[in-house]
Amino acid sequence: MLASFLTLVASGIGFATRTAAGGPWEREFDIGGGQFGVILGAGFLGFGLMIFFGGILVEKFGYKPLLVLAFVLHLISAGMLFAANPLFEGWREADPSTATDKVFNLLFWSAFIFSICQGLYEAVINPLIAQIYPENKTHYLNILHAGWPAGMIIGGLFAAGFIGADAWFIELPWQWALSSFAIVVLAYGVMVLPEKLPETVGESSGNFGNVFSCFASIPFLVLIVLHALIGYMELGVDSWMTKLMENFLPNSVLILVYTSFLMFILRFFAGPIVHKVNPIGLLLGSSVIACLGLIWLGSPIQSVAMIFVAATFYSFGKAFLWPTMLGVAGERYPQSGSVAMGALGAAGMLCVGQIAGPRIGAQQGYAMSENLQQTAPETFERYAEPDPISSWGYEYRPLDPARLNAANRTELVNGTPKNVDAVREADLIPADVKPILIANAEKDFKNVQDSYLAGGRRALTLTSYVPGMMAIGFLGLLIYYRSIGGYKVIKLDGHEEEHDAAGDDEELMGQTGPVEY
């Protein structure tokens, strides 16, 4: 249990520090918001693929081989981060026009390998913990998944203290911060490598084909779609939270740390409550709260205190969604072992990597450009790229990443920039453009920062539609279970444990024992 917990701590640290790397990457490599969103997406793409296929591999080969593979790949991912700066210098000397694209590819593949490790961990630890604690699956899965926000707290505090120009203490080289997860990886490796792990459901049953029976259930297919939406809402927003809250908080990583702390408390200590309530009703209520929380966060709040109040409300909505869904998979489809849980996790992570991260980035970029063009057209012309782009149905002229970063990095006092050093020191802003930006900095910097904030708020508001759709789906499932007698826990021996009534024939396909109604 502790080793499994640490795998999620390591994943959370890597996730939190990567979300804070946008500023340093913009400054050092000229990586813009769109590319940053793609890198964040890569941090989920491999996860989504591997958690599903990893579930099949777990049932075929067992838990331990996959944990060992993840251990090795995680360390390789950390090593790639240290190679980025020296390689970029060499690429820039050889051909400056391609250097940014090459370092982007390196960072993309580092994040992709990291996500492969996350997928392998999830494919193992969810069914492993459900198997170790068969009487309290949802309870212990919530405790297990407290490791994710615990890692984000550690990584977020480390990022706030040492990453970026606004670091509390000192700005360390970003690669040291982003590879800090390797310390936890080594600790978990020392713990788990000598352990003897139990057989999987597929190994012990002797019927490997039986693990795929969950896909014959229509309610399970509905759960897959809903879990994809959970991934979009929870991890998609977490990926962009620090970027969306820049220019409004003293250090935007604080909002991620705070929401992660609330998730940790709720998952770790409120597990017994989750175990005693109808999980579908809990998922429905959580979706409604999350929807309202995102609408609140996207509103024109002017008080930092109110931002944290809104974030508190939102955290109560998202805290139980992911682990409770895994608990439902374990309770309703125990014969499918890691395959059922892996299918849900894959849907969530693929949605984040391929849709949520890039789409939220496009929404923020579009809303920011539109706002600046409408409120300060002269500033827009000085900061916008000459050519429009098309992304996720949005066609707009994005702001130049180097100029945007210079304006965002500058502290304003009563709306006036303290200095223009960020423009003077920006290597990626052309020399002939710098005098124009400096001459207009007094009005431009505030205009840019205001539009950046407006873009972030708009992206959060649009994302609120996702938990709204989740609520409709969970309401449909709740009505369905009520119509057939209610939600019930199913066990491998064919015994059913009541939550509030009996189950249905369709979902019991592949069970190993008789079912009594």
- Count CB neighbours of 148 within 10 A: 28
Using CA atoms, how far apart are residues 375 and 378, in angstroms rounded to an integer? 9
Question: What number is the average pLDDT over the span 450-455?
Answer: 88
Task: Name the burial class of residue 350, with classes exposed (0-12), middle (13-18) and buried (19+) by CB atoms within 10 angstroms of its CB.
Answer: buried
**Chain centre to alpha carbon of residue 320:** 15
| Amino acid in the structure at residue 348 | G
Name the pLDDT band for 467 (thresholds 50, 70, 90): very high
Q: Report whether pLDDT(250) > 70.
A: no
What confidence score (pLDDT) does residue 494 get?
53
Name the pLDDT band for 225 (thresholds 50, 70, 90): very high
- 264-300: pLDDT as tens digits: 888 887 666 666 778 899 999 999 999 999 998 888 8
What token pair was written down for 180? 């800090």
Name the pLDDT band for 359 (thresholds 50, 70, 90): confident
What confidence score (pLDDT) does residue 54 get?
79
What confidence score (pLDDT) does residue 498 get?
55
Which is higher by pLDDT, 384 or 409?
384
Give the chain's count of helices (H) and strands (E): 24, 6
Q: Report whether pLDDT(418) > 60.
A: yes
Using CA atoms, how far apart are residues 6 and 130, in angstroms rounded to an integer? 17
| Closest residue by Cα to residue 126 from 105, 145, 151, 108 | 145
Question: What number is the average pLDDT over the span 194-206?
Answer: 72
Using CA atoms, how far apart are residues 278 and 301, in angstroms rounded to an integer? 35
What token pair was written down for 144? 């297990």
Q: Report whether pLDDT(318) > 80.
A: yes
Task: Give me the percent of the chain exceeding a pLDDT of 90.
Answer: 21
Helices (H), 245-320: 253-269, 271-276, 279-297, 304-318
What confidence score (pLDDT) does residue 500 get?
44
15 touches 152 (CB < 8 A): yes
- 381-403: pLDDT as tens digits: 999 999 999 988 899 999 998 89
What token pair was written down for 61? 């080969």
488 touches 237 (CB < 8 A): no
Name the pLDDT band for 88 (thresholds 50, 70, 90): confident
Helices (H), 412-464: 421-424, 434-439, 441-463
| Amino acid in the structure at residue 232 | Y
> What average pLDDT is seen over the chain?
82
What confidence score (pLDDT) does residue 55 get?
78
Please name the residue that has the structure tokens 């997860």: 181
Q: Report whether pLDDT(517) > 50.
A: no
Q: Report whether pLDDT(429) > 50.
A: yes
Using CA atoms, how far apart are residues 10 and 485, in angstroms rounded to an integer? 42
| Closest residue by Cα to residue 452 from 300, 244, 255 | 244
Q: Report whether pLDDT(76) > 80.
A: yes
274 touches 288 (CB < 8 A): no
Rounded (10°) angle between helices 401-409 and 441-463: 100
Of 1-15, 197-211, 326-340, 394-408, minimum mean pLDDT range:
197-211
Which is higher by pLDDT, 213 or 235?
213
What confidence score (pLDDT) does residue 471 get?
96
280 touches 477 (CB < 8 A): yes
Please name the residue that has the structure tokens 């939270």: 241
| Closest residue by Cα to residue 242 from 162, 148, 156 | 156
- Count CB neighbours of 386 within 10 A: 7
Measured CA to CA in angstroms, residue 458 lies from 220, 231, 297, 407, 415 at distances of 33, 19, 10, 20, 22
What confidence score (pLDDT) does residue 480 get?
92
What confidence score (pLDDT) does residue 501 get?
36
What confidence score (pLDDT) does residue 398 get?
92
